[in-house]
Amino acid sequence: MLTRKLLSSLSFLAGAAYAANITVSNHGGNSSSPLMYGIMFEDINHSGDGGIYAELIQNRAFQGSTEFPSTIDPWEAVGNAKLTLQNTTVPLSWALPTSVQVAPGNNFASGGSIGLQNPGWWGISVTPQPYSGSFWALGSYHGKFTAKLQSAKSSHVWASVEIKSKCQKGEWVEHKFHLNPRVAAPDTDNIFVLEFQPDQGSLNFNLISLFPPTYKNSPNGNRPGLMAGLKDLNPSFLRMPGGNNIEGDIFGYRWKWNETIGPLSQRPRRPGARGYANTDGIGLVEYLQWCEDLDAEPILAVWSGVYLNGYDNDNPYDIPEEEIGLYVQEAMDELEFILGDVHTKFGALRASLGHPRPWKLNYVEIGNEDNISSPLSYASYRFKAFYDAIHAAYPSIVIISSTGDLKAIADNSATDYHEYARPNIFATQFGLFDNANRSHPILIGEYATIEPNTENPLEPVSWDAGEPRLPYPNWVGAVAETIFTLGAERNADIVIGASYAPGFQNINGSQWA
């Protein structure tokens, strides 16, 4: 009886409902920023090497540093070969002095083949598509090389090609080849093999490279699937090349723009800031091409004169004031490379690399999280030195200070705000930007939920070593971040845009979710 009465009441209310007309004004609301949502990228979580960068060979050039010495790993000998790292009297280049000598081992049988093999970055995907490869060889050899893609388990050969030697005694000579598998391998447990017959003795090899098809067939390009996924996000900007990775973990190994351009043989590799080395195969030119491919505005960070020094925030290494001018000039050279016409020194260098037309660049950030790494020197002289030079030469560029908070240093500069928090904290930040200084634009260069909630709803993130992080982004974090970014959208008169960080996570080797 109760159910029948309730249904009758609902029917009456439905019958008594009236139509409502709602008029929405087309003016008077907040204007949205044209750059509201973008991408932040640095080589973290093997997002570059072993990730979006399409190179399939791991340790292709045997590069080393004081932090990560040269190694043969993960290369292995084939056919009773002996592999030895050498710094030959004739190096491939100043950037790649170390090569691997492949020589017959003690039990080598005359007439056989020797060589070396590489498992790639956690395996190699083999599908019916063309693979483009190359290697450099030093020594006397008049026979043929064999390059193969084969199963690591069964040794089944998916593709093979013979390459006639062009070796000249005492010279490094490049050899190029193509592999064309006819069928797909059932898994990624595959290896790349390079062999030769050592009748004339040993050979040295360097810069052994193999690429699948790349996005838009760009040379030295990115993986098509990942780039297509980014394109589908329709990002408005790309903040690059970091992040902590621009600063450098130890002295001397910061991100140097002029060592990331040109042929791969001229890129020396360096220790990254995340516990592994970077080939810098994705360099300045590749980043700018990436922006063009995605129709995204570049937001370029330049090195601000401080090294992380092992993430020791109490003892970073910053450049003294009397020496900072050298590094300011380096940044100015970088901007001339990007923006200068072909009659300038570095504009001409850009043109020689196949890009005579200048790129666009409207935003430059000075450093990264300098509120953590030596904030006193940043506020007293480092920021000003870079700001004054850049603003004088390029007054239309928006210069962003990396203070990490809502306070810009210069009167007409922007600031880069970073927020890593628990979901409960993000949920309270809908109005965070409502009372921010309207004279300073704000870039939200990095934000993410990185730890779960606790019983204390206002507990901040713990930065203690070993503190558990979320292994992957989750729903409660995404909802909380949405509250935060909706608040940013409401304040688009001062918020330039926002980029989640990190942009990629390689599950085979990640440091940060």
> How far is it, in rounded angstroms, from Cα 306 to Cα 319?
6
pLDDT tens figures, 356-410: 999 999 999 999 999 888 889 999 999 999 999 999 999 999 999 998 778 778 7
What is the average pLDDT value for the chain, to the nearest integer? Answer: 92
Which of 3.30.70.520, 3.20.20.80, 2.30.29.30, 3.40.190.80 would CATH assign to domain 37-53+222-500? 3.20.20.80
Q: 398-404 and 190-196 as β-strands: parallel, antiparallel, unpaired?
A: unpaired
Give the Cβ contact number of residue 348 at 10 Å: 15
pLDDT tens digit sequence for 428-455? 999 999 999 888 999 999 999 999 999 9
Mean pLDDT of 125-149: 98
pLDDT at residue 323 above 90? yes
Spatial contact of 205 and 136, defined as CB atoms under 8 Å apart? yes
**pLDDT for res 314:** 66
Model confidence band, residue 468 (pLDDT cutoffs 50, 70, 90): confident
> What pLDDT is recorded for position 439?
87
β pairing state of 297-302 and 237-240: parallel
Q: How many CA atoms lie within 13 A of 387 on its CB side?
A: 20
Q: Any idea which of 72-76, 150-154, 243-247, 498-502 has the lowest mean pLDDT? A: 243-247
Q: CATH for 76-211, among 1.20.1300.10, 2.60.120.260, 2.160.10.10, 1.10.10.10?
A: 2.60.120.260
Per residue in 302-314, pLDDT (tens digit) is 999 998 875 666 6
Residue 343, number of CB atoms within 10 A of its CB: 8
Predicted pLDDT at 154 = 95
Confidence band of 19 (pLDDT split at 50, 70, 90): confident
- Domain chopping of the chain, boundaries: 37-53+222-500, 76-211
Task: Choose among 267, 273, 266, 268: nearest CA to 251.
Answer: 273
Q: What pLDDT, in 10s, does the model give residues 87-98? A: 999 999 999 999
- The CA distance from 424 to 220, in Å, is 43
Least confident of 190-199, 317-326, 404-413: 404-413
pLDDT at 13: 40
Domains 37-53+222-500 and 76-211 share a fold: no
Q: Which residues pair with 101 in a beta bridge?
A: 84, 204
Share of residues in the chain with pLDDT > 70 (%): 95
Most confident of 62-76, 175-189, 452-466: 175-189
Which among 443, 462, 442, 466 is positioned nearest to 452, based on CA atoms? 462
* C-alpha span between 129 and 134 (Å, rounded): 17
As a whole-number percent, the residues of the chain with pLDDT over 90 amount to 77
